[in-house]
Amino acid sequence: MTPLLQVQDLHVAYRSRTGEVCHALAGLSFDLGPSEILGVLGESGSGKSTLAASLLRLLPPSGIITGGRILFEGQDVLHARPREMEKLRGRRISLIFQEPSVALHPAMRVRDQVEEVLRAHEPLDFAARRNRTRQVLASLFPADADRIANSYPHQLSGGQRQRVLVAQAIACGPSVVLADEPTASLDPTTQQEILTLFRTLRQALGLSMVLITHNPGLLAGLADRVLVLYAGRAVEVGPAESVLASPQHPYTRALLRCVPPLDQKSQASRKAMLPVISGESPNLSVLVRGCPFEPRCPEKMEVCKSCDPAAVPLSEAHTVSCFKFPG
């Protein structure tokens, strides 16, 4: 299986006006295979959104990609000319934004907003565009595509708006869709609906997805593989079942332990204090030597302070960056 998207040793830094440098991504590497769903699990400040923005080279002016390579279908994304980037962005790699109520234009009909994507990327005439828009919307809203197409965003529910964003993202038939917290503002029932939609799309269109989230529950049953991001580094990568059910890295273990379980709820465990990760979240403006999780790690060793842990393979697909595991 040749990877569709390859990220190698990616470094991204933000420079503030005062000259302070913040290392948002520090040597991130991963692959994304065809029609694979990769879940990126990270808390705020771990570099999740920076990752999505760097893959499309949509970083704000203060964000600089300081090193590494991004290869998409063999093409070097970081050295692509602006014209070539335009052909990739929205067309081959598209992005589903976080907040559907903000990402949609409030005074444009849904149909026009989906059509706008096609106008930007595909050499189609008016009739063909209309036709394509209708098809895309019909695939997402089988029951009432016409009514939705004629609506304005404020007339739609949160879930419907999220579907419109999905329509925009798949309108040009991309091979990779990046979704940055796609369900953060939805209630669980609608959330499940959108996740089911992702599953269907992957099967129907052979899409690859990078699903970025802070909620481990979303990834169970949807992602094939999970990458756990901490301080801009991948601390653990592996098949979703093994990372979520038997996490190995101390950070992943601590993170997943914070979530209260729904099952086997006994009187005793209810209202008990939840385990928390002690210590402060990492300060990214100082590039420290050693493991970024070391100050908070319950199992730290002497070596963690001085050396950066390399990724150790536990099995064929499961790697952990921690000195606990002998390489």
Cα angle 135, 199, 164; round to 5: 40
* Edge-to-edge strand ranges of the sheet holding 75-76: 21-32, 5-15, 63-72, 75-76
Length of the chain measured in residues:
327
The amino acid sitting at 183 is T
State the minimum distance, in angstroms, from the CB of residue 314 to other proteins: 12
Phi, psi angles (nearest 5°) of residue 268: -70, -40
Residues 298-327 that bind other proteins (CB under 8 A): 298-299, 324
Residues 322 and 310: their CA atoms lie apart, in Å, by: 7
Given candidates 67, 158, 239, 290, which one binds other proteins under the rule CB under 8 A?
A: 158
Using CB under 8 A as the binding rule, whether residue 237 contacts other proteins is answered as no
Give the closest residue to 229 by CA, choosing from 56, 96, 47, 97.
47
State the minimum distance, in angstroms, from the CB of residue 216 to other proteins: 6
Residues 197-236 that bind other proteins (CB under 8 A): 214-220
Given candidates 4, 254, 284, 291, which one binds other proteins under the rule CB under 8 A?
A: 254
Residue for token pair 């980037």: 85
Tokens matching residue 313: 């393979």
Using CB under 8 A as the binding rule, whether residue 104 contacts other proteins is answered as no
Given candidates 9, 144, 146, 187, which one binds other proteins under the rule CB under 8 A?
A: 187
Give the DSSP per-residue string, 269-324.
Answer: TTTPPPP---SPPP-TTS--SS-TTGGG-TT--HHHHHSPPPEEESSSS-EEE-TT
Using CB under 8 A as the binding rule, whether residue 58 contacts other proteins is answered as no
State the minimum distance, in angstroms, from the CB of residue 210 to other proteins: 18
Using CB under 8 A as the binding rule, whether residue 285 contacts other proteins is answered as no
Residues 63-102 vs other proteins: string with x where CB under 8 A? ----------------------------------------
Tell me, by CB under 8 A, how many residues bind other proteins: 49
Q: Which is nearer to other proteins, 150 or 157 (CB)?
A: 157
Tokens matching residue 179: 């979704």
Using CB under 8 A as the binding rule, whether residue 8 contacts other proteins is answered as no
Which residues contact other proteins by CB under 8 A? 43-45, 157-158, 186-192, 214-220, 244-247, 253-267, 270-271, 273-277, 281, 298-299, 324
